[in-house]
Structures are given as C-alpha cells and as structure tokens.
Amino acid sequence: MLAARLTESGKYRVALLEAGGEDDNFWIHAPLGYGKLYDNPKYNWLYNGESEPQLTSHKSYQPRGKVLGGTGSINGMIYMRGAPEDFDHWRQLGNTGWSYDDVLPYFRKGEDNERGANEYHGAGGPLRVSNTPKHPLSDAFIKAGVEAGYPASDDFNGPTLDGFTYNQVNIRNGRRASTAVEYLRPRANARIWR
Ligand SMILES: Cc1cc2nc3c(=O)[nH]c(=O)nc-3n(C[C@H](O)[C@H](O)[C@H](O)COP(=O)(O)OP(=O)(O)OC[C@H]3O[C@@H](n4cnc5c(N)ncnc54)[C@H](O)[C@@H]3O)c2cc1C
C-alpha cells in the first residue's frame, strides 16, 4: 500500500523488496482457499511462538504470508479497523497525528465500500470492501447475541467495534482483494524484486 502511494505522483520509481514469490496460486485468490495455504511453505513462513508454560509448554502456530501481498494474501479477508479508542489512546500518549479523527480520512480514502460513502466509509478508493452473504444460521447467531443482552450493530467499523452483526470483507467480484491486487498491480512504476 505504501509502495503504491509513493508511486502515485508518477515522479518516483519505487523498488519493493519481497522475500516470497508471486501471488500466482489459485487458492490465494479464491476466498475460501486460505485453508490450502495454511501450511504451504512456498507461501507461508510457518512461524511458531515460544513455548508457553501456561499452555503445557505448547508452541502456538503463527502463520505469516511469504508472498506478494504478505499475510494479506493468505488471511481471512475480514475488513476490521482498530478500535477508535485505541487510536485516541495512542494520541494521548503523545503520538501526534494518530487519533481516530486523524486516521479516519485515510481509511475512507483507501476504501471502495459496497455500501457507499458516509461519515465512516469511503467509495471509489482502491480497496474493495464488500458485504458478506446473509445466512439463516448467522442471522440466528446475531439474534441470540442481542437476546443475551449484547448490543446490535450495523457496522463494526462505525463509531464502536462492539455489537453483533455481519462483518464486511476485502473481496471484489468473488476474488480476494489483497493489497497486491488492489494497490500494486495497477502501478506501472512500482518494480518488485523477489
Ligand atoms: C491466518 C490469518 C488470518 C488473518 N485474518 C485476518 C482478517 O480476516 N482480517 C484482518 O484484518 N487481519 C487478518 N489477519 C492479520 C493480517 O493479515 C496482518 O495483520 C497483516 O497482513 C500484517 O500486515 P504487515 O504488512 O504488517 O505484514 P505482512 O502482511 O506479513 O507482510 C510482510 C511481508 O514482508 C515480507 N518479508 C519478510 N521478511 C522479509 C525480508 N527480509 N525481505 C523482504 N521481504 C520480507 C514477507 O514475505 C511479507 O510479504 C490474519 C492473519 C493470519 C495469519
């Protein structure tokens, strides 16, 4: 994303160094294919955490993308921003420019949201954000959450993360909308070294 933004003026040529290879595997682009990449050393660093004494010394598996687009080429595609109060906390700690109000314009600028633009979302940007299909079981799960006393929501990326609703995803026309596909591919002056 940063490499693509740096090339936007057309004045600069940007070299992007990527340790992995091309995002040319069919399962990267088929949304439910990420299960097929979960243990594939060609596209995944296959990290493990340190042994955890509280977990009977178990080491937890930490997959990370080793491919153009990084972990965004093998992840679950859920479009989920950080919590507004976390950004505001960073600002309160002295990080000028990192309050939620400061970063929100950039979230909106990046977005091509199926629901269109509003105070929290953008349309016409590079990164597709689309609705997930409804399903009776998901409807029942959301209803159960609300019946149990949790708030209903219509947007996890609105004023608060809390609540029960459907998430949105980075999928365009049935294919994974990774940063490599959405930001990098359209840039002629970004050269990629692998
Ligand atoms: C299984 C899984 C599911 C996830 N699901 C979601 C989700 O649904 N929604 C969500 O928002 N987040 C999800 N995440 C988290 C999200 O994908 C990551 O937080 C995000 O991709 C991290 O971005 P990054 O740019 O920091 O690093 P990465 O995307 O990991 O990119 C790092 C890149 O640097 C490359 N690299 C590493 N070392 C070198 C080197 N020495 N030289 C050159 N290149 C190098 C790597 O190969 C990689 O391409 C998920 C993560 C995992 C593992």
- Domain range summary for the chain, segments of one domain joined by +: 1-49+56-77, 79-169
According to CATH, the topology of domain 79-169 is Arc Repressor Mutant (1.10.1220)
Which candidate, 108, 28, 115, 117, places its Cα nearest to that of 74? 28
Sign of the torsion angle spanned by Cα atoms 140, 161, 78, 39: negative
Any ligand 1 atom below 6 A from CB of 37: no
Tell me the pLDDT tens digit for each residue of 67-105: 999 999 999 999 999 999 999 999 999 999 999 999 999
- Flag whether pLDDT at 190 surpasses 70: no
Q: Which of 186, 158, 159, 174 lies closest to 79 in space, CA to CA? A: 158
pTM for this model (two decimals)? 0.93
* Beta-carbon contacts of residue 68 (< 8 Å; ≥ 6 apart): 18, 20, 21, 22, 23, 180, 184, 192, 194
Q: Determine how many CB atoms are found less than 10 A away from the CB of residue 44.
A: 20
Give residue 191's pLDDT. Answer: 65
- Give the confidence band of 7 by pLDDT, cuts at 50, 70, 90: confident
Choose which residue among 1, 18, 32, 75 to substitute to test ligand 1 binding: the one with the highest number of ligand atoms within 8 A of its C-beta.
Answer: 75
Q: What band does 157 get if pLDDT is binned at 50, 70 and 90?
A: very high
Report the candidate in 36, 16, 19, 18 with the shortest Cα–Cα distance to residue 28. Answer: 36
pLDDT at 185: 76
Query: Cβ neighbours of residue 140 under 8 Å, at least 6 residues apart?
Result: none
Which comes out higher in pLDDT, residue 15 or 100? Answer: 100
The type of residue at 19 is: A
CA–centroid distance, residue 149 to ligand 1 (Å):
35
User: With 90 as the cut, is the pLDDT of residue 5 above it?
Assistant: no
Task: State how far the Cα of 137 lies from the Cα of 155, in Å rounded to an integer.
Answer: 19
Q: What is the DSSP letter of 17?
A: E
Nearest CA to ligand 1 atom 31: 70
For residue 92, the CA-to-ligand 1 centroid distance in Å is: 27
Distance, CA of 112 to CA of 115 (rounded, Å): 9
Q: What's the pLDDT score for residue 193?
A: 61
